[in-house]
Each structure stands twice: as C-alpha cells, then as structure tokens.
Amino acid sequence: MTAFPPVAFVSGIAAPLLRANIDTDAIIPSREIRGVGKTGLAAGLFASWRYHGVTREPNPDFILSQPDYANAIILVAGENFGCGSSREHAVWALHEFGFRAVIAPSFAPIFQGNCIRNGIIPVVLAAAQICLLGREVSVDLMTQRVASGAHSFAFAINPEAKAMLSEGLDAIDLTLKHAAAIAAFHAQDGQNRPWIYLEARP
C-alpha cells in the first residue's frame, strides 16, 4: 500500500509567510474541519487570514490570495511552524492546496511527523538562509539541498523520514515486517508487566 505519491524533488514558487509560531489553528481553524476524513480541507487553509470575516471574500493582502503566489508549491515560514493542536488536517490542507515542502527555522514536533507521513518535506534552514530565498526555490530531498537563484544550502533530515517521503512508503507496511519481534516483545512484556495487558479487565 502506498500512503501518498512519493516526493523527492520540489521546484517552483515559494510563498513567504515569515511569522514565528504559526499554529495549526491558523493553518486550519477547527470550524473549517467539517467531515470525518482527510479531504475537502484546502478551502479552509489559513481561512482566518485568507478571507474577510463571514463574507469569505478573499483578503488581497494575504500572500496566497496574490496571483503571483496562488500556485505556490513551497511555503516559507518562521520558527516553530505548526505549533499547537496535533490536528493532521493542517498537513492535509496544505497538501491539498498544493504544497509539497515547508521551509522554516524549526517545526513543532507533531506537525513535522505529520508532514513526513503525508508527502510534505519539512526543511529546516537557518533564518539567515531563509532570508536569501527568492520566489523560485527548489528542494532536492535526495541531495538534501535547497537552491534559489545563486544560493544553495544543505539541510538535514533523518534517514527514515527521507525514505518515507522519497519512496511514499506506508509506515504500517514497513512495521508489520517486524510482526514477529512485536509478538515476542508482547509475550515477554506480558510476563514482566502483566498490568499493562488489559484483556481480562472490564
């Protein structure tokens, strides 16, 4: 089973949203989550900033409302991006809108994990490097480099995340290859810590 299309190289328009601590309530407000699923979320992306109040008229000042950035594929943000609620809807909304990479000085841990499982490359660059990125940016996951104009920067990503993204791997499939080790762990652990295993409890 493939979890999502593999993503190894992303090149195109990068939209700068250079605020620190952009939270998942901002990325997708709770009121925009209307169905028990992973789709239908792009319209709610950054809804509080993208639209004017209840009329939902586009706010022309917001970066993604501007024609130059309407087809952005990379989001460039400030530190601690994706903090707040664990809602994976934030990543699903970004992906559905068209984003395949987010570049920031740091990410909130749950958001970063959600990216890796949904085909969005979380790229950590220093704030000083991010300032030098232009409108056209490429992210090469295989060589772990970001390029824009004359600039090129290396970035770090752990090997597991890299493999998951570039091969579009399904983590459950991978883990079930360890089914025997998991069963052995449970058998032994059930002896050591029987109180963890609740089969016999109400």
Partner 1 sequence: MSARTGARLRPQWRRALAEPATLFAKLWGSHVVARLGPDEDLIAIDRVFLHERTGSVALKSLAAAGRPVLDPHRVFAVTDHIVDTLPGRTGTRVPGGGVFLTATRDETQAAGIKLFDVDDPDQGIVHVISPELGIVLPGATLVCPDSHSCSQGALGALAWGIGSTEAEHAMATGTLRMARPKTMRVTFSGNLGPMVTPKDMMLALIARHGAGGGKGHAIEFTGDAVRALDVEGRLTLCNMATEFAAMTGFVAPDAVTFTYLKGRRYAPVGDDWERAMAAWQALSTDGGAVFDTEITMDAALITPMISWGITPQSAVPISDAIPSAGESNLTEADYRRALDYMGLESGQMLLGTPINAAFIGSCTNSRLSDLRRAANIVRGRQIAAGVVAMVVPGSSAVRRAAEAEGLDRVFLDAGFEWRMSGCSLCFYAGGDGFAPGSRVVSSTNRNFEGRQGPGIRTHIASPETVAASALAGAIADPRGSV
Q: What is the DSSP string of 136-173?
A: EEEEETTTTEEEETTEEEE----HHHHHHHHHT--HHH
Q: Which of the ranges 5-13, 93-101, 134-142, 184-192 carries the binding residues for partner 1, by CB under 8 A? A: 184-192
Q: Does residue 134 bind partner 1 (CB under 8 A)?
A: no
Q: Which of 83, 93, 101, 141 binds partner 1 (CB under 8 A)?
A: 83
21 touches partner 1 by CB under 8 A: yes
User: Does residue 158 belong to the site contacting partner 1 (CB under 8 A)?
Assistant: yes
Comparison of 109 and 134: residue with beta carbon closer to partner 1: 109
Sheet holding 74-77, edge to edge: 121-124, 101-104, 74-77, 9-17, 136-140, 145-148, 151-154
Assess contact for 132 and 151: CB atoms under 8 A: yes
Among positions 160-179, residues that touch partner 1 (CB under 8 A) are: 160-161, 171-172, 174-176, 178-179
38 binds partner 1 (CB under 8 A): yes
Verify binding: residue 84, partner 1, rule CB under 8 A.
yes
CB of 164 to partner 1, least distance (A): 9
Of 38, 42, 90, 107, give the one whose Cα is nearest residue 70: 42
Nearer to partner 1, 128 or 196 (CB): 196
* H/E run at residue 16: strand 9-17
As beta bridge partners, residue 83 has 23
What is the C-alpha R_g of the chain?
Answer: 20
Q: Which of 11, 59, 65, 85 touches partner 1 by CB under 8 A?
A: 85
Show Cβ contacts of residue 129 under 8 Å, excluding neighbours closer than 6 positions: 146, 151, 153
Q: Which one of 91, 93, 101, 141 is in contact with partner 1 (CB under 8 A)? A: 91
Burial of 23 (0-12, 13-18, 19+ CB in 10 A): middle
Residues binding partner 1 (CB under 8 A): 1, 3, 18-21, 23, 25-26, 29-31, 33-38, 48, 53, 78-80, 83-88, 91, 106, 108-110, 113-114, 117-118, 158-161, 171-172, 174-176, 178-179, 181-182, 185-186, 188-189, 191-199, 201-202
